[in-house]
Amino acid sequence: MRLDKFLKVSRIIKRRTLAKEVCDRHQVKINDRIAKAGTIVQPGDVLEISLGQRLLKFRITELREAVPAKQAAELYELLESNKVEIDD
């Protein structure tokens, strides 16, 4: 499954176009490598996403084409969620 589609299906990012934009800005890494929106993801991959001042780290546990919103969190395991401090 493509990275941008996984981010949308899992509801980590609400829209696929926004997921593509985040990838285009090099804010997403898969297994410590910068990823493009079309990169294929697999269970076991570790995603690192930088959104504003937040750094989120997930492990993909399952891939599905579509899931109800209540089950979206079953597709990944949250490993880390940090607020990044910015020095002025």
pTM listed for this prediction: 0.87
SS3 54: strand
Condensed to tens digits (0 to 9), the pLDDT of residues 45-88 reads 999 999 888 899 999 999 999 999 999 999 999 998 888 665 55
Q: Look at the block and give the residue holding tokens 């089950």.
A: 71
Residue spans of the domains in the chain: they are: 3-83
Rounded CA separation 5/29 (Å): 15
The predicted structure's pLDDT at residue 51: 87
Query: Length of the chain in residues, anyone?
Result: 88
DSSP string, 9-50: HTTSSS-HHHHHHHHHTT-EEETTEE--TT-B--TT-EEEEE
For domain 3-83, the CATH superfamily is RNA-binding S4 domain (3.10.290.10)
The predicted structure's pLDDT at residue 85: 66
The predicted structure's pLDDT at residue 53: 87
